[in-house]
Chain A
Amino acid sequence: MNREKLLNTAVILLLLAIPLWAHMAEEPFLITLATKVAILALAGVGLNIALGIGGLVSLGHAAFFGIGGYAMGILAAHAQNYEPLAEWPMLIEGTNQMPVIWLVAVVASALAALVIGALSLRTSGVYFIMITLAFGQMLYYFAISWTAYGGEDGLSIWVRNEFPGLNTLVPLEFFLICYVILCAALWFAARLARAPFGLALSAARQCEARVETVGITPYQLRLTAFVISGAITGLAGALFADLNRFVSPTMLSWHTSGEIMIFVIIGGVGRLFGPVIGAALFILLEHLLGGISDYWQIYLGGLLLIIVLYARGGVIGAISGREVAHD
């Protein structure tokens, strides 16, 4: 086992061990922090498929995160008010069942990713960055002006949604749900990277012309990757909204996109566990530095600047001794 694999194993075990210990020691706040890490890591795993494997620098992933969040918010708000979502052409009711909410979140964010991706993948480079950013902001302003679901104030849910057979109000049980989903997503991302699809996607990042020469259309590969990526981030959004029992336009703002990207980068771009380590470090920093100063984001900015300018492989790159994840 090389150093990177050792580090990955240690991180994923630690992420499980800390909440288990906290449950014993009755420190529910620590469990909430770990849950946040797992959920944000999931969002990062989603982005990493587009960014790390596909080389698509999307600054609009907050759109999918927020759509997942609003899927949860809207369904649960209708369920708690006993108002049907639609009466025509058929009766659709809200729900407080997590699996249904997840399904809706995944489908809705995948559809959004299909539309946004189909338009923005017609371009590349800087255009792609700006256009994904612009579409993300479009949804942000739409959510602000959409007064039916809270507008700028967002939507609050009184009770966390339910999962069959578990009590989601117990912090540890909700953590375990998120943890299992994160592990499943990591397994999926690892399989994807090694599958013919992932290899072709990676090849399209490295040399587009060669991929086209062997008869593969990079556009379709990238669009598929973008949709998968958006769907995973959307699922994370639904969980994040459930963690806070609150969804607001902030989830859609471009700062969220930037933060998801920061998780991926701090950990190491294109590394399977990059987002996990990045999210853990981010939450740790937020907690530690936030305790010292209200203006902790200055230090975050400084740290990010140093990592980008001088430590390009992120944390995993520094520890494993290899700066670049692939090649």
Chain B
Amino acid sequence: MSLILILEQILNGLQFGVMLFLMAAGLTLVFGVMGLINLAHGALYMVGAFAAAIVAAWTGSFVLALVASLAAAAAAGALVELLVIRKLYDRDHLDQVLATFALILIFSEGTRWVFGSFPLFLDVPSYLSGPISLPGGIEYPLYRLTIIAIGLVVAAGLFWLIARTRIGIQIRAGESDREMIAALGVDISKLYTLVFALGAALAGLAGALVGAIQSVQVGMGEPVLILAFVVIVIGGIGSIKGAMVGALLVGLTDTLGGVFLPQLFGLFMEPASATSVGASLASMLIYILMAAILLVRPSGLYGGQH
């Protein structure tokens, strides 16, 4: 087990974590501001990936594909918010779970209807493919490094948006007291649509970026959605900082566990059973992490105020 392998896996974990953050940020914003649990967030991730794959096939431009993923997911998010989600803010969580579950059924089957069950392909553009040499002699895929960079830039932008801009102030005010900011003359329903579309756009971007390394297919958002839930539970609902820390924890734990647990068990077991026990345990590792954090802090690392 060389140092280079460990560093590579840490980068992989970072890349995964950054993608999870893009998903979790939208979910946690929507929950923090509107008090809504949105199971259909994974569907918006899928919408972004499909939009990117179609535009990339049309125009051949990866940048345009990313723009399309942002626009399509934001539009789908705004539309869903106006038609359905808006009616759910005053309802209990059970109604929200069911209605957004219904949205998943509609989105997934609708996409299957239009595009069929076969995956679409979104290729990594030639200027981003291939490995790049990093200091220390690591050869690492340039595209994955780009994903990390994009993710970090978007995260920084989001922190700036929340902390420094007028809209950010309104969003934070909406988290603490929605009647008060409505009374101060902020159009709260417009703000809600905006926050929902913003979260959707982040999910769509994540879908497009990941779609280029995996395949673009129906149901691709659901495993990520559930990991994003784990991230939010770990980080604390409503906290962007918590989402960032949780996403990196989950990304690193999952990636490193998947690679190193089988090797760890190999130290004192036969290779075949070490691989299978290690793989089984690695698949459960992040949930065990979540349970451990819950035992210590039931409302997550940065939860507290909710």
> Measuring CB to CB, which residues of chain A are less than 8 angstroms from any residue of chain B?
51, 57, 59, 119-120, 122-123, 125-127, 129-131, 133-135, 137-138, 141-142, 144-148, 254, 258, 261-262, 265, 269, 295-298, 300-302, 304-305, 308-309, 312
3 A-B pairs with the lowest CB-CB distances in the bound complex, closest first:
A301-B105, A138-B287, A301-B106
On whether the beta carbons of B106 and A142 are closer than 8 Å, the reply is no
On whether the beta carbons of A134 and B283 are closer than 8 Å, the reply is no
On whether the beta carbons of B37 and A126 are closer than 8 Å, the reply is yes
B280-302 to A contact mask, C-beta < 8 Å, 1/0? 10011001001100110011100
On whether the beta carbons of B113 and A298 are closer than 8 Å, the reply is yes
Which residues of B are found within 8 Å of A51, using beta-carbon distances? 94
Of B94, B102, B226, B280, the residue contacting A57 (CB under 8 A) is B94
On whether the beta carbons of A304 and B101 are closer than 8 Å, the reply is yes
On whether the beta carbons of B37 and A129 are closer than 8 Å, the reply is yes
- Chain A, interface SS category: helix
> Measuring CB to CB, which residues of chain B are less than 8 angstroms from any residue of chain A?
31, 37, 84, 87, 93-95, 97-99, 101-106, 108-110, 112-113, 222, 226, 229-230, 232-233, 237, 276, 279-280, 283-284, 287, 290-291, 294-295, 298-300
Which residues of A are found within 8 Å of B102, using beta-carbon distances? 300-302, 304-305, 308
> When chains A and B are docked, how far (Å) is the Cα of A318 from the Cα of B41?
31
On whether the beta carbons of A262 and B98 are closer than 8 Å, the reply is yes
Which residues of A are found within 8 Å of B279, using beta-carbon distances? 145
On whether the beta carbons of A126 and B226 are closer than 8 Å, the reply is no
On whether the beta carbons of A258 and B101 are closer than 8 Å, the reply is yes
Of A123, A135, A304, the residue contacting B98 (CB under 8 A) is A304
On whether the beta carbons of B276 and A147 are closer than 8 Å, the reply is yes
On whether the beta carbons of B233 and A59 are closer than 8 Å, the reply is no
On whether the beta carbons of A57 and B97 are closer than 8 Å, the reply is yes
On whether the beta carbons of B99 and A125 are closer than 8 Å, the reply is no
On whether the beta carbons of B109 and A146 are closer than 8 Å, the reply is no
Of A131, A296, A302, the residue contacting B290 (CB under 8 A) is A131
What are 12 A-B pairs with beta-carbon distances under 8 A?
A: A51-B94, A123-B299, A126-B237, A127-B233, A127-B299, A127-B300, A133-B226, A134-B229, A147-B276, A265-B98, A305-B106, A308-B98
> When chains A and B are docked, how far (Å) is the Cα of A147 from the Cα of B291?
25
On whether the beta carbons of B113 and A126 are closer than 8 Å, the reply is no
Which partner residue on chain A sits nearest B228 by CB separation? A130
Of A133, A262, A269, A300, the residue contacting B229 (CB under 8 A) is A133
Which residues of A are found within 8 Å of B93, using beta-carbon distances? 57, 125-126, 129
A138-B284 CB under 8 A given contacts A119-B295, A297-B109, A304-B101: yes
On whether the beta carbons of A309 and B232 are closer than 8 Å, the reply is no
A130-B232 CB under 8 A given contacts A135-B287, A146-B280: yes
Which residues of B are found within 8 Å of A144, using beta-carbon distances? 283
